[in-house]
């Protein structure tokens, strides 16, 4: 099964649509609730990062009998120092984003905690690709 979503930068009211839709699908597939929660947390963090930092982005979710593989690609500023960005509390979010309650610097760390596999590729000035893989058997 494949699902595709578009994300618009700055659209905080739309952040979470993909994770909500994926949650519904996983429930119908009888994936364990703890696994669903991990997937939804990781995906939501990825969505918010695109909304907060990029012009736009897309999400592709591939579900098979063993796992879900989510690829998030954005057209944003890129991440100059991925290792630093993985530090809890580190954030490059604008003050406007922080005033809305986002940008606490937990996005990438929460993705790492909740996905079995996290791959990040980023090009400063052109964007970022995040791959999240979670296996249904823990």
Q: What is the pTM of this model?
A: 0.92
Question: How many domains does the chain contain in total?
Answer: 1
pLDDT digits (tens, 9 = 90+) for 25-63: 999 999 999 999 999 999 999 999 999 999 999 999 999
C-alpha span between 77 and 67 (Å, rounded):
30
What pLDDT is attached to residue 93?
83
Per-residue pLDDT of the chain (138 residues; tens, 9 = 90+): 999 999 999 999 999 999 999 999 999 999 999 999 999 999 999 999 999 999 999 999 999 999 999 999 999 999 999 999 999 888 888 888 888 778 787 889 999 999 999 999 999 999 999 999 999 985
Chain centre distance of CA 83: 17
Domain with 19 in it: 2-135
Percent of all residues in the chain with a pLDDT value above 90, rounded to a whole number: 84
C-alpha span between 103 and 90 (Å, rounded):
9
C-beta of residue 16 within 8 angstroms of C-beta of residue 44: yes
What pLDDT is attached to residue 49?
95
What pLDDT is attached to residue 138?
59
**Which helix (H) or strand (E) element contains residue 38?**
helix 33-53
**Which helix (H) or strand (E) element contains residue 96?**
helix 95-99
- At 32, which CATH number? 3.30.565.10
């Amino acid at each position: 099964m494949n699902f595709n979503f578009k994300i618009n930068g700055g659209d905080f009211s739309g952040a979470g649509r993909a994770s909500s839709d994926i949650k519904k699908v996983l429930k119908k597939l009888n994936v364990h609730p703890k696994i669903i929660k991990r997937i939804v947390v990781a995906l939501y963090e990825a969505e918010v990062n695109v909304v907060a930092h990029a012009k736009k982005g897309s999400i592709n979710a591939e579900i098979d009998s063993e796992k879900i593989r989510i690829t998030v690609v954005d057209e944003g500023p890129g991440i100059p120092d991925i290792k630093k960005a993985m530090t809890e509390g580190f954030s490059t979010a604008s003050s406007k984003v922080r005033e809305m309650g986002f940008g606490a610097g937990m996005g990438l760390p929460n993705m790492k905690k909740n996905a079995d596999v996290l791959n990040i590729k980023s090009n400063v000035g052109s964007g970022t690709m995040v791959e999240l893989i979670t296996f249904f058997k823990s």
